[in-house]
Amino acid sequence: MTDGQNIKPLTSLRFFAALWVVLFHYWPNLAGASAHAEPAAIAKGYLGVELFFILSGFILSHVYRTSVETGRFRYGSFLWARLARVYPLHLATLAAMGLMAAAAGVAGIAVDPNIMSWSSLPANLTLTRPGGFRRSPAGTIPPGRSRPNGSPI
């Protein structure tokens, strides 16, 4: 496969990996869904994260292979390109969440601090963890779930 060939099917597969993770997290909250009715594929949705990262790594390797082989690859340019691609959407999402939280506040609806916390805004703007570099006690497992191997979080 050359650098110019189309690898859109792999890029599209990343959407389904992300959707798998979303279903894993939100299945218990869906109307009419119960923990007993959760399909086995949804219960393994945490694997979508690994699939997404594997596909992303392959796609990035494919895209940058020639520049690495010829010695033209520059890490700073790579990081800048990644930031320019991700950060604008991050800011738009952050602004949308802020507007929804503000509207909820005006309507008298309390916003769970696990969903939106104004004190975590600086960390969100700088793409760092709100708690610093220590491990979060909650990890990425939603409430009411345990790790696949049953180990404590």
| Burial zone of 59 (CB within 10 Å; 0-12 exposed, 13-18 middle, 19+ buried) | middle
pLDDT in tens, 67-86: 999 999 999 999 999 999 99
Rounded Cα distance between 78 and 81, Å, is 5
pLDDT in tens, 53-69: 999 999 888 888 889 99
Average pLDDT over residues 6-33: 84
DSSP 32: T
